Amino acid sequence: MTPIRILVCDDHAVVRAGLLALLGSAPDIEVVGEAGSGEEALALARRLRPDVVLMDLQLGEGIDGVETTRRLRAETPAPHVLVLTTYDTDADVTRAIEAGATGYLLKAERPEDLFTALHAAAQGRPSLSAPVAGRVLSRLRSPRPTLTPRERDILTQLSRGLPNRDIARALFISETTVKTHLRRIYDKLGVDTRSGAVSVAKEQRLLP
């Protein structure tokens, strides 16, 4: 069997070293390169033509893993991208998959699961960590929350980074009313922070 050609992209040198050692133990996997940034991954992918890019999401300065994935998938030929990360929020999963990632694994996975996912990715077959798959299914089964026009107005102002006082002024309501609406928004979206509300709202396309 021809080994699967893998390019590893992670901004932590120690993590890359661990992955290279692990992947090097598999006779049917060949690591053809390693990158510490999205920009480096793009350059290496064009030169090395890997079958799969093993991609972290957070890459420090420069473009992140999602944007790198999007650009890689626009290449000709385009490598498959398997995300390997510690982040499992709905927003992260959605962004990565929409960017073209073939699979999404968490770094807590067992080595054999990583090997299986890499083989699946090389064939264009999707693979998700069990916790990620459970969250995706749960979200698909749950109806999108319904917000009132006023709640949407407040959420829009919230996405612009405005504090409660400025939101109240912009909408000609009191700060107390803003706080009341925020509590209802948090309950409907299943979050407890302003940033969480904005993240879920963007993910579920509740913002204009």
- Rounded mean pLDDT of 116-132? 90
Mean pLDDT across the chain: 90
* CA nearest to 35, candidates 70, 4, 2, 72: 72
Q: Could you write out the three-class secondary structure of the chain?
A: CCCEEEEEECCCHHHHHHHHHHHHCCCCEEEEEEECCHHHHHHHHHHHCCCEEEECCCCCCCCCHHHHHHHHHCCCCCCEEEEEECCCCHHHHHHHHHHCCCEEEECCCCHHHHHHHHHHHHCCCCEECHHHHHHHHHHHHCCCCCCCHHHHHHHHHHHCCCCHHHHHHHHCCCHHHHHHHHHHHHHHHCCCCHHHHHHHHHHCCCCC
Tens-place pLDDT, residues 133-156: 776 666 655 666 789 999 999 999
pLDDT of residue 188: 87
Report residue 207's pLDDT band, with 50, 70 and 90 as the boundaries: confident
Structure confidence by residue, pLDDT tens digits, 179-194: 999 999 998 888 889 9
Query: Is the CB of residue 152 less than 8 Å from the CB of residue 206?
Result: yes
Percent of the chain whose pLDDT exceeds 90: 67
Give yes or no for residue 96 having a pLDDT over 80.
yes
Convert the pLDDT of each residue in 6-23 to its tens digit.
999 999 999 999 999 999
Mean pLDDT over residues 51-66, rounded? 93
At residue 203, the pLDDT reads 75
As a whole number of angstroms, the distance between CA 20 and CA 117 comes to 16
Instruction: Tell which wins on pLDDT, 99 or 144.
Output: 99
Residue 20's pLDDT is 95
Look at residue 140 in the predicted model and tell me its pLDDT.
58
pLDDT at 26: 92
